[in-house]
Amino acid sequence: MVPSRFPLLAALCLSFLFICSSAAAQQAAEPAAEPQLPSPSSVAGAPGVEIDQMLINLPTTLTLKRHKSYFRITHRFARDLRRGSFGELAEDLFSLDNGAIIGLEYRFGITDYLQAGVNRSILGKTIELFGRWDAVRQQDGRPFALSVTPSIEGQDNLRLDPQPGIAATFSRVHGTRLAVYATPTFVKDAHTPTLRVGHGDHDHGGEEPDPADEIPGEDKNNTAFVGLGMRLRVLETMSIVGEVSPRIYGYRPDRAAWNVGVEKLTRGHVLQMNFGNTFGTTPGQIARGGSTHDVYLGFNMSRKF
C-alpha cells in the first residue's frame, strides 16, 4: 500500500514547491514600494512653505488640528548689538552673556478651525489670553487664507492696564517656496496709564517743545498697525522670515517694530534665530513700537504635539 501512494505524494510535493517558487519569483519581479518620507509641507500639515503658527512675532494662518497642542519659547537678549566694538561684543559672546526677555506660549486646538492659548512674557510680567478662528483656508480653493484672533493682555499678570485687541491675518501661499502675510491689528489702550507716567504731560518750562521730542499720537490711547511678513523656503528644511509692523493710527512712539530671521525645521520642532529692534512679542507690545537704533539677538523654538 505504501509504495502505491509514493508517486501521488511526490507529485503533490512537487506541485507545492512549484507554486511557492512561482510566488516568490513574482514578488521578486515586483519589489515593494519604498515608504514615502513626509515632506516639510506635509509635516506642517499645510500646503507649501507654512511650517509654524507664527512668523517671528506675527501670526500665520497655519491650522492646528483638533485636540493638538502647540508650545513656543521666545528669547530676546538684552544687549544692543550696535553698542560697543566687535571685540567687546565677542567678550559678551555677542550678547549671550547678558540678561534676556523670555516668553512662554501654549495653545490648544479646540476644533480644526478653533484654537485658544496663553502667552506669558517677563516683560512687565505680561499675560496674553487669545483665541483664533480659521475662517478661510487657501487649500479649500480660495485665493487666500484668513484667520481672526481676538486677545486681551495686561501687565503684572493681567492685573494692570488690560489691553484688548483684535487681529485679522490674511495669507497667500505661492507654490512650496513663498508665503506672504498681512495682519491688520487694533489694540485698545495701548497707551496705558502706567506708560503715561514716564512721558505724559511734559513740562517744558514755558519753552516751545522740540518737535524731535514729540511722541506721535501721545494724546491717543489706542493703536492700529498692519503687520506685514513673509516666509521664504530656501532649502528643503530651512527658511528665511521677515516682518515689520507700521502703525497707521493712534499712539505711535519710536519706530515700527521689525524682525528678520532664519529657521530650521526638524522632526517636530522649528528652531529660529532672529534679529530685531524690540523685545515685544504680544500685540500690545508690538503696538508700542521698537527702538529707533538698537538691534537685539533672539531665538524662537516651537513644537506641535
Contact 151, 165 (CB under 8 A): yes
**Predicted local confidence at residue 165, as pLDDT:** 98
Inform me whether the pLDDT recorded for 286 exceeds 50: yes
- Greater pLDDT, 98 or 210: 98
**Predicted local confidence at residue 43, as pLDDT:** 37
Confidence band of 215 (pLDDT split at 50, 70, 90): confident
- Greater pLDDT, 254 or 199: 254
Alpha carbon 4 to chain centroid, angstroms: 81
Nearest to 236 by CA among 62, 78, 85, 48: 48
What is residue 6's DSSP assignment?
H
**Predicted local confidence at residue 192, as pLDDT:** 79
Helix, strand, or coil (residue 192): coil
Chain segment 52-77, per-residue pLDDT in tens: 999 999 999 999 999 999 999 999 98
Confidence band of 79 (pLDDT split at 50, 70, 90): confident
Averaged pLDDT, 82-93:
66
Inform me whether the pLDDT recorded for 195 exceeds 70: no
For 266, other C-beta atoms within 10 Å of its C-beta total 11
Query: Which CATH number is associated with domain 47-198+213-304?
Result: 2.40.160.40
Taking the CA atoms of residue 15, residue 18, residue 19 and residue 21 in that order, the dihedral angle to the nearest 10 degrees is: 160
In DSSP terms, 140 is beta-bridged to: none
**Predicted local confidence at residue 163, as pLDDT:** 96
**Predicted local confidence at residue 153, as pLDDT:** 97
CA distances from 61 to 147, 149, 175, 258, 288 (A): 6, 10, 16, 20, 24
Point out the least confidently predicted range of 38-47, 254-263, 276-285.
38-47
**Predicted local confidence at residue 210, as pLDDT:** 56
CA distances from 113 to 41, 64, 90, 105, 131 (A): 19, 8, 47, 19, 11
- The mean pLDDT of the chain is 82
Alpha carbon 284 to chain centroid, angstroms: 17
**Predicted local confidence at residue 98, as pLDDT:** 73
Inform me whether the pLDDT recorded for 262 exceeds 60: yes
Confidence band of 211 (pLDDT split at 50, 70, 90): low
Confidence band of 82 (pLDDT split at 50, 70, 90): confident
Averaged pLDDT, 280-305:
94
Chain segment 2-39, per-residue pLDDT in tens: 444 444 444 444 444 444 444 444 444 444 444 333 33
Helix, strand, or coil (residue 5): helix
Residue type, 301: M
Taking the CA atoms of residue 85, residue 88, residue 92 and residue 96 in that order, the dihedral angle to the nearest 10 degrees is: 0
| Residues contacting residue 260 through CB under 8 Å, at least 6 positions apart | 56, 240, 241, 242, 243, 274, 275, 276
Chain segment 138-175, per-residue pLDDT in tens: 988 899 999 999 999 999 999 999 999 999 999 999 98
Inform me whether the pLDDT recorded for 299 exceeds 60: yes
Nearest to 149 by CA among 137, 163, 135: 135
Instruction: Compute the distance between CA of residue 29 and CA of residue 58 in angstroms, rounded to an integer.
Output: 53
- Please tell me the pTM assigned to this model: 0.77
Point out the least confidently predicted range of 49-53, 80-84, 253-257.
80-84
Contact 238, 261 (CB under 8 A): no
